[in-house]
Chain A
Amino acid sequence: ETGVTQSPTHLIKTRGQQVTLRCSSQSGHNTVSWYQQALGQGPQFIFQYYREEENGRGNFPPRFSGLQFPNYSSELNVNALELDDSALYLCASSPGLAGANGRTDTQYFGPGTRLTVL
């Protein structure tokens, strides 16, 4: 139990539609990261938000966007869905103090949202 929750657990959409996935971080965690995990592969970094601003982005197109809110919740939005977007989407929260203290920041993962695009 990491204290990170995601909703919904499963979702089915069709090509061209838009989807919003939600994440609730641990209280006090200023950083949230989103990952895409295709079947049989490791998670791929989508982007990271720190104190409500995007702070780093992986190799994903602009139709992947996000928001982070002051209440430690966040969203991942995907527009114009494609078949290849079918995957498990994971969010992970962390205190966001790594570099400041020279130590590695532990990320706590939610259970993920399984998105199927038909």
Chain B
Amino acid sequence: TQLLEQSPQFLSIQEGENLTVYCNSSSVFSSLQWYRQEPGEGPVLLVTVVTGGEVKKLKRLTFQFGDARKDSSLHITAAQTGDTGLYLCAGAEMESSGDKLTFGTGTRLAVRP
């Protein structure tokens, strides 16, 4: 069974601070995805990283895929209250009929004004 562990589990920071969330596994994935989920809603895809060592930026969010494609990180610069939510990483096993996702344990972020 493939497992993805995220750290930290909970994070409460002040607006304007920086933070990093980590996603680690002992397994190799075809790709790794990051989602954000708000209360009462399903997860929304933020980014997909495919190549080992890949770095992607989405405004204040920077995503990195480890060289061995087993781990990833999400860095948020100058956090805003709107960044509050549950951040999930998910490893994808690419198959012809559609990816099967293994989700991490989640990191709950609270950004205080």
Residues of A within 8 A of B (CB): 2, 4, 30-31, 33, 35, 40-45, 48, 50-51, 55-56, 59, 90, 92, 94-100, 102, 104-112
Closest to B102 in A: A45
* B88 at the A interface (CB under 8 A): yes
Number of A-B contacts defined by CB within 8 Å: 97
Closest residue to B86 on the A side, CB-wise?
A42
Task: Judge whether A104 and B102 touch: CB under 8 Å.
Answer: no
Q: Does A96 contact B101, Cβ atoms closer than 8 Å?
A: no
Instruction: Tell me whether B41 and A112 are in contact (CB under 8 A).
Output: yes
* Docked-complex contact B98 and A31, CB < 8 angstroms: yes
Q: Which residues from chain B contact A97 at a C-beta distance below 8 Å?
A: 98
**Given A90-B43, A92-B42, A31–B97 Cβ distance below 8 Å?**
yes
Which of B31, B88, B96 meets A43, CB within 8 Å?
B88
B44 contacts chain A at the CB level, 8 A cutoff:
yes
Q: Tell me which residues from 70 to 91 in chain B have a Cβ below 8 Å from any Cβ of chain A.
A: 88, 90
- Nearest residue, chain B, Cβ from A88: B42
Count, chain B residues at interface, CB 8 A = 31
Going nearest first, the 10 A-B pairs with the smallest beta carbon separation are A109-B42, A99-B96, A31-B98, A42-B103, A50-B97, A96-B98, A104-B31, A42-B106, A43-B103, A105-B99
A60 to B41, CA, bound (A): 23
Does the CB pair A98–B94 fall under 8 Å? Answer: yes
Residue in chain B with minimal CB distance to A99: B96
Q: Is the interface of B mostly helix, strand, loop or mixed?
A: loop
Q: Is the CB of A105 within 8 A of B98?
A: yes
| Closest A residue, CB atoms, query B88 | A42
Pairwise interchain contact B94-A44, C-beta atoms closer than 8 A: no
**Interface residues in B93-112 (C-beta closer than 8 Å to A):** 94-106, 108
Picked from A41, A44, A94, the residue with its CB within 8 Å of the CB of B99 is A94
* Interface CB pairs A-B, < 8 A, 18: A2-B42, A31-B98, A41-B106, A42-B4, A42-B106, A43-B88, A48-B97, A92-B101, A94-B99, A96-B98, A99-B94, A99-B96, A104-B92, A105-B94, A106-B45, A107-B98, A111-B41, A111-B42
Is A90 within 8 A of B102, CB to CB? no
